[in-house]
């Protein structure tokens, strides 16, 4: 059996063109090309990056019922959400295909079969430019529930990538032991955790994810500063006045399967962070702990995962058969 070679990966810590889907997608495609030029086989971007995280909720009375401001902001958000059936990510898919690398991108997804409800989705695109997975965040956190709907288990899947087994979760899903276990059970040894962008989220948990899973853990975050709020947004003046100078400061980082830093958290700048991952380190750490291998007791503890995607209605258009 041939020995797997080291894998070059990139974290693209960038700010979106906030709440502007097409401009953000174009920016992501540009950074995908940069990652490809750096020799990467995988590049990851932060949570909800296209078209952006809903930072306004916390600072503009987002829970106020029947608020004209909140309705206007949500209407714009829904309009700018990513529609995969419309191929809104076509520029990113083309960049992945041209650069021959995989892309993990946090999106706000509008699923047409679920009306105007929005999902925080982690989209995985392979090196042929094909969308391989769409994982909808299982449980939005705190104020996120005012604009995002709960997801489902269909996207709890892992994929082979150059000798590694790749999986990923959105933000605070990474705190959910059973969600992590659903990926461990598939042999995950390369984990992507996507975040809207703050080092206080990534500084501790990333190393825990790596040590618990005996895997490489990649945490990738976005940025948002006051100057990143475009003037053409609805109520841009209100948003600039309400939001802090820095809503998201980054914190992207990579921890090795030992729990030690490979790349410590990066704060406050747009940056392409590149690292080489050695699969032999995973194998060495699995010698004493393999969470769903020799250090498991499936006869005592067993996880059940529903990977079905729920639907609000099912229709049959065939006419009933006549009884004669």
Give the number of residues written for the chain.
324
d(CA 40, CA 81): 28
- Write down the catalytic residue from 27, 47, 107, 253: 47
Question: Which of 107, 120, 158, 171 is labelled catalytic?
Answer: 171
How far out from the chain centre does Cα 317 lie? 37
Q: Which long-range contacts (CB under 8 A, 24 or more apart) does 131-136 make?
A: 131/84, 131/89, 131/93, 132/159, 133/157, 133/159, 134/84, 134/109, 135/168, 135/169, 135/170, 136/109
Maximal CA-CA distance, the chain: 75
**Active-site annotation holder among 27, 107, 120, 137:** 137
Catalytic-residue membership of 47 = yes
Task: Clarify whether 285 is annotated catalytic.
Answer: no
CB neighbours of 237 closer than 8 A, spacing ≥ 6? Answer: none
Tokens of 164: 């590694």
Q: What is the CA radius of gyration of the chain?
A: 20
- Give the catalytic positions in this structure: 47, 137, 171
């Amino acid at each position: 059996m041939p020995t797997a070679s080291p894998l070059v990966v990139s974290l693209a810590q960038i700010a979106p063109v906030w709440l502007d889907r097409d401009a953000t997608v174009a920016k992501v495609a540009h950074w995908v090309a940069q990652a490809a030029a750096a020799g990467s086989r995988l590049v990851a971007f932060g949570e909800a990056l296209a078209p952006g995280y809903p930072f306004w909720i916390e600072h503009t009375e987002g829970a106020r019922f029947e608020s004209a401001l909140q309705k206007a902001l949500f209407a714009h958000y829904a309009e700018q959400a990513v529609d995969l059936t419309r191929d809104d990510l076509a520029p990113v898919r083309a960049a992945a295909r041209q650069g021959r690398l995989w892309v993990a991108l946090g999106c706000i997804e509008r699923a047409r079969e679920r009306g105007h409800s929005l999902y925080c989705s982690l989209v995985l695109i392979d090196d042929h430019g094909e969308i391989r997975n769409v994982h909808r965040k299982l449980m939005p956190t705190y104020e996120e529930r005012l604009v995002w709907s709960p997801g489902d288990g269909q996207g709890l899947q892992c994929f082979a990538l150059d000798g590694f087994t790749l999986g990923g979760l959105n933000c605070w899903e990474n705190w959910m032991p059973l969600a992590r276990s659903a990926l461990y059970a598939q042999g995950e040894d390369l984990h992507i955790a996507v975040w809207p962008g703050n080092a206080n989220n990534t500084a501790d948990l990333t190393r825990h994810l790596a040590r618990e899973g005996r895997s490489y853990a990649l945490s990738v975050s976005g940025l948002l500063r006051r100057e990143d709020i475009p003037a053409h947004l609805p109520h841009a003046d209100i948003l600039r006045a309400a939001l802090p100078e820095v809503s998201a400061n980054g914190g992207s980082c990579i921890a090795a399967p030992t729990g030690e830093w490979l790349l410590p958290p990066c704060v406050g700048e747009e940056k392409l962070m590149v690292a080489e991952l050695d699969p032999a380190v995973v194998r060495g750490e699995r010698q004493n702990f393999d969470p769903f291998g020799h250090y498991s007791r499936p006869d005592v503890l067993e996880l059940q995962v529903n990977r079905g995607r729920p639907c609000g209605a099912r229709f049959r258009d065939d006419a009933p058969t006549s009884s004669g």
